[in-house]
Amino acid sequence: MKFKDIVNRDIVNLENCEDEAIHIPGLIQPQGFLLSINNKSKIVNVCSENIGSFLGIDYKSILGQEIDKFFKFNILGHLNELNQGSPGQKITFSEECFGSSFAFTIHESGDNIVFEGEKSLVGPDKEAGLYNSSKKLLSYIEDTNNLKDLCNSVAIAIKDITDYDRVMIYKFDKEYNGEVYAESKENHLEPFLGLHYPHTDIPRQARELYTKNLLRIIGDVKYQPVKLYTYAESKLETLNLSLSVLRSVSPIHLQYLENMGVGATLTVSLIHKGKLWGLIACHHYSPKYLSQEVRNSVKLHGHFITSQIDVRILNEQYEVSGQVNKHVDSLVSHDLAFDRSSIKKMFQHDSIYRLSNSDGVAALIGGDFYFRGLVPERHIVERYSEVLKENSDYPHMVAISDMPRIYNQKSEDFTMFPGALFHVLDSENYIIWFRVPTVQTITWAGDPKKSIEKDKNGLSPRKSFESYVQNVKDTSKPWLIPEINAAQKFKVFLQNLVRSIITNEDKERQRILSEHLKAVNTELDNISWISTHDLQEPLRKIRMMASVLLENKEKYNVSEILVNRIGRMAKSAERMQTLVKNILQYNQTNTALEKFEEINSYNLMLEVQEEIKDNLLDHEATLHIDKKLPKIYGIPFLLRQCLLNVINNSLKFKNNKRDVVIEIFNDLEDEKSDLYSVIALKDNGIGFDKEHNEKIFKIFGRLHSVSEYEGTGIGLAFCKKIMLKHNGLIRAEGIKDVGATIRLYFPKTK
Amino acid sequence: MNKYSVFYIEDDEDDMLIFEDALLSIPEYNEQSVKLYICENGYNFLKFIEKDEAENKIVFLDINMPAKSGFDYLRELRTDQNLKNLPVVTYSTSYDRNFINKSRELGANYYAIKPSKFGDLTKLISKAIRIDFDRETAPPNDFIFNLLVQ
């Protein structure tokens, strides 16, 4: 029979350790032996080279043989138990063989069953120890409040049980950067508590193994790995040791441990909701092995921690929640006036940023910039708001802890404050809480400068820290739910306060405005007076004098040229007079306070038609009045004036190439016809350019020169005013050379 | 003895001049039949009317006057036993509704808007002296004197 080892000889170094196939090294640690059998044939297909030193038989004599030939105990019974259990399960048992007591661990690996045997190590009073430690565990539930305290207690307990020099509990963040969360150690050792490690310290595939194989032990960092052998006919190339206890670990990892001066380790995975939450890492500064029982006890402690995570996190959140809410309460309990001084007052308390455990807060409210604590400069705060507003979902808030990573391609402004908790108050106002980078807030238990750095070329905690800093650069501590909630709570309060302030300010503004308006109205009345009398008077006289001369040409010897000039003069004075008269009318619309009546607009239209029939005849104009004109509410004399003005406009701007036809109809097609009764007056005159749709309603907004078309430019402005008085509106639509359509909109309800 | 006396109470010299010109141009005018009194104020007017003996009298009363307005005079006139039936036409540039209504309330016979054309004014005066105020009272819509002339 031919034999060969299955050692994986790929070279591993720091550059490629991310890809190292650590689950199939083909090597084990020397503190035990390993053999594997084909699950069907029960023939041994892998055996460690060192089996002789434990059992006194050569691996060559076992390979290729059925396993029960070698062991006296009922090996098949254990196999049955394994096969009946759930996949991935491990079974441990102790059996006497070849004169010694061994602790066996068996598990499935592909088609194979892997047997690992270690000499049983029994502590002097293990039973009592385990009992005591279990009892202690229960007491921790009562004695500790938060997760950290609990982890601390557990670390102390594990140190007690195992006698490792240092017991640490690591906790990973969501990117698997690690932090030493709790620690118990020999006094002379330097503390690692609070040290941070980058996720690269534990490569991905190692993490995967941690989730499968919950306990790993390295008895002696300087161990000589033992090769695994198979026989040629087995066709076996590799043996997956993912679940193996004795699996030889990555040389990179051993180097790392050696750099720290560590002699032996025990690692227990802390799995929470299927993810690697943390590790219990025990370090000893000389070789150290543990009995199965003690290992199991450590595992139990691990389970205990993970079972408590949810509860403790809730507890912690509750604690945080209590803290931050205290800040919110202290802010909102102030007696605040509804003016801007209140906002200023609030920004004088540190609570305003401590309520979300942030480092500072800034807000833009009503054009004023408020801040407290550490915040970026105003223009940078505004950049935050611009960027975050775009990306905020309902209800307009964003909690982000890595601004620079996400948005720095746009600008470099965000590195100082990677954490931002952004709340929109309304369309213009907002508040942002800021956090500085995590690196600045890391607490070091010891002096980081004294941290171990034995090998300049290898890994060490010190180097790890630098690397960690790189990893967490541009991030801040993540925003916790209670912090976000507290901010939310405060935001709602602030929002209401701001609204009240704005309402108050509006009221005040309105008061000033209405006073102003009163003054203006009084002034306007005076102007009306002036326009009726003082302005009319001289104009009338000019015309009168002119007419005296024109009507008595012979008597006063007035020449033809004078007649012409005086005629023009009189005409100008007349125009001015009309203008003044119209202005007066326009202003009187304001003061008309008549009550609205129900009006049949068809009848009203007929009345208007009757009133101007001579004028229509002169212009050879026809009105087509739709019988279905709507019922409207309004002041008849004003509406008559409005309709007259619109029709007069059509007559004035008629197209000389054709007779005037004005269609007057109930426009049910109009987009606003759901809310308004719409009376449309459509003519076939000269029309106007679209761009003037608005302009023609401006007072004195004439589109044509006086010589082209007479008019004071008040007509349509007057109409607009009348429609406003009716809570309606007027719109014009023109097509040059085709005609104009004026639409009058009356609200359907009174 | 003249048949008709026209009293024009007015403070504005231009208007006085024009009114006089217009009166002189009406077809009915001759020195015997029509006499014009132009009064700068109420005091003058009272002096004139006391002495006047014409059968028919008519007053054109300007409203806007300093110190005492046309309305003030009108009120006084209508409380005066001798003058309360005197035909009075309030006469103003203004077409303000308030003026018109107030004139009617205070007992004017008509309200006339000062015309802008000489011809209109002559027609207005001509009409005024042809009206028999005892028999013709202004119907509500025709309170505006100008409307009677057109």
The identity of residue A704, as a single letter, is H
Over the Cα atoms of chain A, what is R_g?
Answer: 47
Whether the Cβ atoms of residue A109 and residue A243 lie closer than 8 Å to each other: yes
Q: Find the helix packing angle between B13-25 and A536-551, rounded to 10°.
A: 30
Best mutation target, A525, A532, A572, A587, to test chain B (most B CBs within 10 A): A532
Q: Does A537 touch chain B (CB under 8 A)?
A: yes
Query: Considering A100, A119, A138, which residue would you say is the last residue of a domain?
Result: A119
Query: What residues contact A128, with CB distance under 8 A and at least 6 apart?
Result: none
* SS3 category, A638: helix
Please give the pLDDT value at position A457.
44
Residue B105's nearest CA partner among B55, B60, B140, B64 is: B140
pLDDT-derived band at A466, boundaries 50, 70, 90: low
Partner residue opposite B93 with nearest CB, options A540, A545, A548: A540
Residue A173's nearest CA partner among A442, A523, A421, A491 is: A442
Partner residue opposite A536 with nearest CB, options B12, B15, B93: B93
Q: Where are the beta strands (DSSP E) in A264-418?
A: 264-272, 275-284, 360-365, 368-373, 397-400
Q: Does A536 touch chain B (CB under 8 A)?
A: yes
- Mean pLDDT, chain A, integer: 82
pLDDT-derived band at A525, boundaries 50, 70, 90: low
Q: Give the whole-angstrom CA distance, residue A679 versus residue A682.
A: 10
Q: Does A572 touch chain B (CB under 8 A)?
A: no
CB contact under 8 A, B116 and A547: yes
What is the CATH classification number for the domain harbouring A51? 3.30.450.20
A533-590 confidence digits (pLDDT tens): 677 788 888 999 899 898 888 888 889 889 988 988 888 888 788 777 777 776 666 6
Per the model's pLDDT, the better-predicted residue between A711 and B114 turns out to be B114
- Lowest-confidence segment of A220-234, A259-273, A432-446 by average pLDDT: A432-446
**Considering its fold, how many domains does chain A have in total?**
2
pLDDT higher than 60, residue A706: no
pLDDT higher than 90, residue A433: yes
Helix/strand/coil (H/E/C) assignment for every residue in A423-437: EECCCCCEEEEEECC
Q: What residue numbers bound the domain in which B110 lies?
A: 4-149
Using the Cα atoms of residue A371, residue A372, residue A378 and residue A383 in order, give the sign of their dihedral.
negative
Q: Where are the beta strands (DSSP E) in A326-454?
A: 360-365, 368-373, 397-400, 419-424, 430-435
The percent of residues in chain A predicted with pLDDT above 90, rounded, is: 14
Tokens of A32: 């035990």
CB contact under 8 A, B94 and A532: yes
Please give the pLDDT value at position A444.
43
Q: Based on the number of CB atoms within 10 Å of its own CB, is B51 exposed (0-12), middle (13-18) or buried (19 or more)?
A: exposed
Q: Where are the beta strands (DSSP E) in A618-660?
A: 622-625, 631-634
Per the model's pLDDT, the better-predicted residue between A57 and A711 turns out to be A57
A264-278 confidence digits (pLDDT tens): 999 999 988 888 889
- Lowest-confidence segment of A252-256, A497-501, B127-131 by average pLDDT: A252-256
Whether A671 is in a domain gets the answer: yes
In chain A, the residue whose alpha carbon lies closest to the alpha carbon of B13 is: A541
- Lowest-confidence segment of A8-12, A464-468, A687-691, B124-128 by average pLDDT: A464-468
Please give the pLDDT value at position A463.
54
Q: Does B14 touch chain A (CB under 8 A)?
A: yes
The residue-averaged pLDDT of A4-11 equals: 80
Whether A179 is in a domain gets the answer: no
A658-685 confidence digits (pLDDT tens): 889 999 999 988 888 888 999 999 999 8
Chain B residues in contact with A544 (beta carbon < 8 A): 18, 115-118, 121
Per the model's pLDDT, the better-predicted residue between B40 and A178 turns out to be B40
pLDDT higher than 60, residue A15: no
Per the model's pLDDT, the better-predicted residue between A742 and A695 turns out to be A742
- Residue A258 host element (H or E): helix A251-259
Q: What residue numbers bound the domain in which A36 lies?
A: 3-119
pLDDT-derived band at B103, boundaries 50, 70, 90: very high
pLDDT higher than 60, residue A125: no
B60-89 confidence digits (pLDDT tens): 999 988 778 899 999 999 998 888 889 999
Query: Considering A67, A99, A119, which residue would you say is the last residue of a domain?
Result: A119
Please give the pLDDT value at position A455.
44
Q: Give the whole-angstrom CA distance, residue A437 versus residue A359.
A: 10
Q: Give the whole-angstrom CA distance, residue A460 versus residue A453.
A: 6
Q: How many CB atoms lie within 10 A of CB B45?
A: 21
User: Starting at the edge strand that comes first in sequence, how are the strands of the sheet with A196-197 ordered?
Assistant: A196-197, A178-185, A166-172, A275-284, A264-272, A215-218
Q: Does B16 touch chain A (CB under 8 A)?
A: no
- Lowest-confidence segment of A119-133, A352-366, A385-399, A424-438 by average pLDDT: A119-133
What is the CATH classification number for the domain harbouring B114? 3.40.50.2300
Please give the pLDDT value at position A19.
67
CB contact under 8 A, A577 and B115: no
Q: Give the whole-angstrom CA distance, residue A257 versus residue A261.
A: 6
Task: Indicate the length of chain A as a whole number.
Answer: 750
Q: Does A571 touch chain B (CB under 8 A)?
A: no
Chain A residues in contact with B118 (beta carbon < 8 A): 544, 547-548, 550-552
**Considering its fold, how many domains does chain B have in total?**
1
Please give the pLDDT value at position A472.
66
CB contact under 8 A, B116 and A574: yes
Eight-state DSSP code of residue A650: H
Place of tokens 């036993």: B81
CB contact under 8 A, B116 and A577: yes
Please give the pLDDT value at position A468.
59
Backbone dihedral angles phi then psi of residue B44, each to the nearest 5 degrees: -55, -45
Partner residue opposite A548 with nearest CB, options B12, B21, B114: B21
Whether A695 is in a domain gets the answer: yes
DSSP state letters, A152-205:
HHHHHHHHHHH--SEEEEEEE-TT--EEEEEEEE-TTSPP-TT-EE-GGGS-HH
Best mutation target, B116, B121, B150, to test chain A (most A CBs within 10 A): B116
The identity of residue A352, as a single letter, is I
Chain B residues in contact with A539 (beta carbon < 8 A): 116
Whether the Cβ atoms of residue A209 and residue A196 lie closer than 8 Å to each other: no
CB contact under 8 A, B116 and A552: no
Give the C-alpha distances (Å, rounded to integers) separating A12 from A25, A220, A228, A264, A734.
Answer: 11, 20, 19, 22, 83
Whether A45 is in a domain gets the answer: yes
Query: What residues contact A141, with CB distance under 8 A and at least 6 apart?
Result: A150, A308
Helix/strand/coil (H/E/C) assignment for every residue in A97-135: ECCEEEEEEEEEECCEEEEEEEECCCCCCHHHHHHHHHH
Tokens of A478: 């993540």
A54-111 confidence digits (pLDDT tens): 888 888 888 888 887 777 777 888 888 888 877 778 888 888 877 788 888 888 888 8
In chain A, the residue whose alpha carbon lies closest to the alpha carbon of B114 is: A540
Best mutation target, B24, B93, B96, B146, to test chain A (most A CBs within 10 A): B93
Query: Considering A75, A101, A119, which residue would you say is the last residue of a domain?
Result: A119
pLDDT-derived band at A425, boundaries 50, 70, 90: confident
Residue B63's nearest CA partner among B120, B27, B108, B4 is: B108
Per the model's pLDDT, the better-predicted residue between A578 and A701 turns out to be A578
What is the CATH classification number for the domain harbouring A617? 3.30.565.10
Chain A residues in contact with B116 (beta carbon < 8 A): 539-540, 543-544, 547, 573-574, 577
pLDDT-derived band at A11, boundaries 50, 70, 90: low
Please give the pLDDT value at position A450.
40
Please give the pLDDT value at position B121.
92
Please give the pLDDT value at position A701.
57
The residue-averaged pLDDT of A635-653 equals: 86
pLDDT-derived band at A294, boundaries 50, 70, 90: confident
Best mutation target, A541, A553, A563, A583, to test chain B (most B CBs within 10 A): A541
Whether the Cβ atoms of residue A683 and residue A718 lie closer than 8 Å to each other: no
CB contact under 8 A, A545 and B121: no
The residue-averaged pLDDT of A608-613 equals: 86
DSSP state letters, A504-564:
HHHHHHHHHHHHHHHHHHHHHHHHHHIIIIIIHHHHHHHHHHHHHHHHTHHHHT--HHHHH
Best mutation target, B25, B117, B125, B150, to test chain A (most A CBs within 10 A): B117
pLDDT-derived band at A454, boundaries 50, 70, 90: very low
In chain B, the residue whose alpha carbon lies closest to the alpha carbon of A555 is: B25
Q: Give the whole-angstrom CA distance, residue A217 versus residue A262.
A: 13
CB contact under 8 A, B95 and A533: no
Please give the pLDDT value at position A261.
84
